[in-house]
Chains A and B, each alone.
Chain A
Amino acid sequence: MDVFLASPWIPAEWIRAHGLQPRGLWSAEDFQPGAWPLSAGLCAFADAAVRFAEARTDSAVVFSTACDQMRRGFDAAILEGQRRAFLFNLPATWQTPAGTQIFRSELERLGQFLLAIGGSAPSPEVLRREMSQAGGARQRLLESASATSPRGFAQAVAQFHWDGAFSPPPPAPPANQIPIALVGGPFLAPHWEWLDELEAAGARVALNATEMGERSLPPDFEFDPAAIHPFDALVRGCCDNIVDVFQRPNTRLYSWLKPRLASRNVRGIVLWHFIGCDLWRVEAPTLRETFALPVLLLEAGGEPGAAPRQLDRLQAFVETLR
């Protein structure tokens, strides 16, 4: 059975260890966040997740508590009769034991859910193997980022989140374009055309720090199996490496961004977020102040006619950097 995950922070290796197939729901062909019009204030991504869950009653869908819209989207999906939906409580805090304890208990509870839908309880060896494979694939993906095009990298990461495999993205020569960082929320296949527009305008995404970019590829959770149970290593590895805007405080996001922006000589930041996403939108002034870089807001999920205006803004932004 397919288990669709609405967040990259829910460890796919845990699903796989139970003998089920995890898939990033955003990579599904029938996941379409562009249905218009939306109710006022509704996030198109969260709305699409709800519609996806309502339609895919043959599969399981795991929502996360990372945002209000997803939490209430889960409520809506349950109300519409989706019986194989699970809400994973991602802890917002990370500086105290509470967050880790929540994550651990949620992973155990998710395990119970997976058993109930036909999965099998994993042995430590099976879990370790899945963790090793996933960690290795993530590592190779990260290493490939600088040698491939932004679109190639986005495609490779999407493939990884879809089936766990590492498909080496095609190499691309380094281009003499203005390096920028793409920071923000879900950045899906229908949005990749913005990468092309950026390149046409003379810029290149040197850092894809969107929810489906490098941030979603934590390093391999290396551990000594003699000293620590794989489950404990998984909990610790996940908790130590979630880097996202919903965390409180979200200083970890800024600590993660800082060295990467510097090492890649990033000259500007494009802040990408779905309309209705307060968590990302609020960060624009903080990003400007913290990194002393120009920040352009680009919104997903708006009305179809907004694209030309967004393109105009993007082109003006790159001209400014030039």
Chain B
Amino acid sequence: MICAGIDAGSRSIKVVLFDTARAQIIASGLADQGVEQERLAAELFESLLQQAGLDRSRISSVVATGYGRNAIRFAGTTITEITCHARGVHWLAPDARSIIEIGGQDSKIISLEEGGRVRDFAMNDRCAAGTGRFLEMVAARLDMTWEKLAQLGRQSQAPALISNVCVVFAETEIIGLLADGKPLPDVVAGVQNAIATRVAALASRLASPPVYFTGGVALLPGMARALEEVLACPVRVAPRPQFTGALGAALCARAANPSPAGL
């Protein structure tokens, strides 16, 4: 039985096809998000089917997650990211007890019981300061990619202190630091620390080791280390961090096995 999970995030759409018989991911893909979310999701879904040599009829159920999940009408059901990331990370790392997910527009902390059930969670979905959006703003301001930004951060000798909790004022602060001659790597490292600090404030009562870090921001060098420093415990990057939500959705599809509404 093949199940599909679609994570319609704010910045990108991720799809995972999961073979329940062999308990393995058989295809995964990512595309930029846009206005026509359902069409973009369907296109990505179709391309993965082709890639895997599958027909639509082989897909027994589809679950959508992410902020845009309700727009994916061909999904049989929708489930929130909290449940899906928990499922996905637990499948990849059964020892996980806490999950930190930093996405483009929000960040989440999920506390798991043994067995992977969600015990509690917290979300920052009001303030950009603890999200990938902050990094995007800095990257745009410095006219470089995220990845280049993160590479620079690794060169830091003395991370700058970014005191503002608001991204708008933090931008002013960063400009001021650069104008004062603060080395760029130190400023970038300071931004990463600021994000980690915001997330840690959310995580304080929920995070207990082993802590796994997932979401697109987890791919950036230095972010996991920044989180480790503020949480004072090891933080492991989940395998395939961009896809844990979509994987979890596919696993939920396996459990729910609803029929797709039709493409």
Could you list which residues of chain A lie within 8 angstroms of chain B, going by C-beta atoms? Answer: 285, 288, 294, 302, 306, 308-309, 312-313, 315-317, 319-320
Contact = CB atoms under 8 A, between A and B. Distances in A.
Contact of B82 (A302, A309, A320): A320
Contact of B79 (A306, A308, A313, A319): A319
B204 to A, nearest CB: 10
B71 to A, nearest CB: 11
Contacts of A302: 126
Question: 7 closest A-B pairs (Cβ-Cβ)?
Answer: A316-B82, A316-B80, A309-B125, A320-B118, A319-B83, A315-B80, A294-B120
8 contacts: A288-B205, A316-B82, A316-B83, A319-B79, A319-B83, A320-B82, A320-B118, A320-B121
Nearest to A315: B80
B30 interface: no
A316 B125 contact: no
B260 to A, nearest CB: 21
Contact of A309 (B79, B118, B121, B126): B126
Interface of B: 67, 79-83, 106, 118-121, 123, 125-126, 205
A285 B125 CA distance: 19
A228 to B, nearest CB: 48
Contact of B123 (A308, A316, A319): A316
A285 B205 contact: yes
B81 A308 contact: no
Nearest to A293: B120
A150 B14 CA distance: 38
Nearest to A285: B205
- Per DSSP, chain A at the interface is helix
Contacts of A285: 205
Contacts of B120: 294, 320
A6 B138 CA distance: 46
Contacts of A317: 121
B133 to A, nearest CB: 14
Given A302-B126, A320-B83, 19 more contacts: A285-B205, A306-B126, A309-B67, A309-B106, A312-B67, A312-B80, A312-B81, A316-B80, A316-B81, A316-B83, A316-B123, A319-B79, A319-B80, A319-B82, A320-B82, A320-B118, A320-B119, A320-B120, A320-B121
Contacts of B106: 309
A313 B123 CA distance: 8
Contacts of A312: 67, 80-81, 123, 125
Nearest to B125: A309
A308 B80 CA distance: 12
A294 B110 CA distance: 12
Nearest to B78: A315
Contact of B67 (A306, A308, A320): A308
A317 B82 CA distance: 9
A291 B205 CA distance: 16
Contacts of A319: 79-80, 82-83, 118
A317 B121 CA distance: 8
A288 B67 CA distance: 27
Contacts of B119: 294, 320
Nearest to A294: B120
Contacts of B126: 302, 306, 309
A44 to B, nearest CB: 15
Nearest to B117: A320
Nearest to A310: B125
A20 to B, nearest CB: 42
Contacts of B205: 285, 288
A313 B125 contact: yes
Contacts of B81: 312, 316
A159 B22 CA distance: 59
Contacts of A316: 80-83, 121, 123
Nearest to A308: B67
Nearest to B205: A285
Contacts of A294: 119-120
A312 B126 CA distance: 12
A167 B3 CA distance: 51
A181 B205 CA distance: 22
A223 B4 CA distance: 67
